[in-house]
Structure 1
Amino acid sequence: MDVQKKNNYIAPVLWGITITGLAILLTMTKKAFAAIVPNQKIRGCDAHGCGSFGASRGGRTHNGVDVVVTPGQNIVSPISGTITRFPYPYKGDFNYKGIEIKNSEYTVMIFYMNTTVLANTKVTAGQTIGKAQNIAAKYGNGMTPHVHIEVRDSKGNLINPTNMFV
């Protein structure tokens, strides 16, 4: 094979690898979720712990992120999907509620909110789905008011959603 023919073969292969690498990078940094409140901010650390994904919770780790809210504030759906259920975050305490939204890519659970939608309802990203509850009422003034968001992929694997919000 002469040098010219060899270069004509290698360049497209390398270009294809570069394009593939770029596509993978873009997929990994894809912003998949709508912000659930305006000027969304992840809860920092307070007297009751930290709101970041993976933060220590004594003998376990935090499986989601806590988004700072004002009690009574509207919460919007981070994804388009179907409301599948209304889980409770605390066994035996039905004062605090949650919502589960599913689509073909993600399952999102949001806790500490009163819902305004019905089960089996289809929602779109950005649609109001409820109002934030006052979680500080349960834990005291040292707790920053927030809602908890937990995300799993279509296979049920836990995902860190920190950088996935628009």
Structure 2
Amino acid sequence: MMRMSLRVSLIAAFLVFYVLLSCALEHEKRGSEFESPDRRVDGGVGVRRNDTAANDGRAEAAAPRGKVKKTTRRRMLTGPRSDHGCTGLGGICQSKRYICQGRYLKGKCSGAKSRRCCVQAGAWSVLCAGHHNNRVRACDAHGCGAFNSKRDNGLHKAVDLVCDDYGIINTPFTGSLAGPVSRKDTAGNRYDGVKLLSDVHCVHIFNIRPYRYSGPVAQGEALGYLLPLQERFSGITSHLELQMCDGTDPSPFI
């Protein structure tokens, strides 16, 4: 009986020793798998580096600065690099605080935004055939034809030039026709015309019937004919209406 108990105790002790040994070996194996590859041989722990992540971080941090520099550089180069756009039109680049005996054009001069292209007033051709000059309509029962003359709905932002009913209208300057235009007054009367533009000028010519609404035209070329106003406004002076596209006074050019 004694021998049997001794055998059982030895077997149990052997099993416990085997289990503890297996656990120790498994623990050592797992520890070697998770050990850092950068661990030094002498027992010191090295600092793990991730060059890819570090480089990516530096690239991301530097990207906004590069974008800012490029954007700033683009802003600096948005304007013209020279005054050729102005001088090619016969103009002079100067500060807009100076008086221009003609009209100022934007976006033609280099440097500060206050510099504008001053184009001298060049005489346009006579618009109304059979007339020796561009005569501004005087005051009659229906109003006056000068720029900024008083009207029922405010100021007249155009100039009325005296013409004959159905008379030929000539092109005042070389340019291109850019389609029909029309407007209505406070009484509901409609006035039709055409838009004429060039590198320097842009005008709406009302109360005419153009021969065409698009294409290039030369100075002095027949543009169309005058529509009569007598049927709607008895006693009015027959005229066309000349209006700058930007609402400025066309008087210096006529």
- The TM-score, its normalising length taken from structure 1, stands at 0.73
Matched, 1:109 2:204: yes
Distance in structure 2 (CA, Å) of the matches to 1:67 and 1:129: 15
Q: Which deviations, in whole Å up to 9, do the C-alpha atoms of 1:96-130 show, x marking residues without a partner?
A: 4201011111111111111112x331001111110
Q: Whose RCO is larger (CA < 8 A, sep 6+)?
A: 1
Paired residues, what number? 139
- Other-structure match for 1:99: 194
Residues 45, 99 of structure 1: CA spacing in aligned structure 2 closer, same or farther, 3 A cutoff?
same
Helix, strand or coil: the match of 2:125?
Answer: coil
Residues 28, 121 of structure 1: CA spacing in aligned structure 2 closer, same or farther, 3 A cutoff?
closer
1:25 CA drift (Å): 4.9
Distance in structure 1 (CA, Å) of the matches to 2:231 and 2:211: 21
Segments of 5+ residues of structure 2 without an aligned counterpart are 1-93, 95-99, 103-117
Residues 84, 64 of structure 1: CA spacing in aligned structure 2 closer, same or farther, 3 A cutoff?
same
Matched, 1:62 2:147: no
| Equivalences for residues 28-39 of structure 1 within 5 A | 30-37=121-128, 38-39=131-132
1:93 CA drift (Å): 5.8
Q: Which deviations, in whole Å up to 9, do the C-alpha atoms of 1:116-165 show, x marking residues without a partner?
A: 12x33100111111001112222122x1110000013xxxx322111312
2:169 is aligned, of 60, 75, 78, to 75
Distance in structure 2 (CA, Å) of the matches to 1:100 and 1:82: 8
Helix, strand or coil: the match of 1:50?
Answer: coil
- Other-structure match for 1:5: none
Distance in structure 1 (CA, Å) of the matches to 2:120 and 2:217: 24
Q: Percent identity?
A: 22
- The alignment yields a C-alpha RMSD, in angstroms, of 2.7
Whichever of the two has the greater Rg, that structure is 2
Greater percentage in helix: 2
- Other-structure match for 2:243: 150
Residues 114, 25 of structure 1: CA spacing in aligned structure 2 closer, same or farther, 3 A cutoff?
closer
Q: Which deviations, in whole Å up to 9, do the C-alpha atoms of 1:38-74 show, x marking residues without a partner?
A: 2221000000110000001123111110001110100
Q: List 4+ stretches of structure 1 deviating above 3 A.
A: 24-29, 91-94
Distance in structure 1 (CA, Å) of the matches to 2:101 and 2:240: 30
Segments of 5+ residues of structure 1 without an aligned counterpart are 1-19
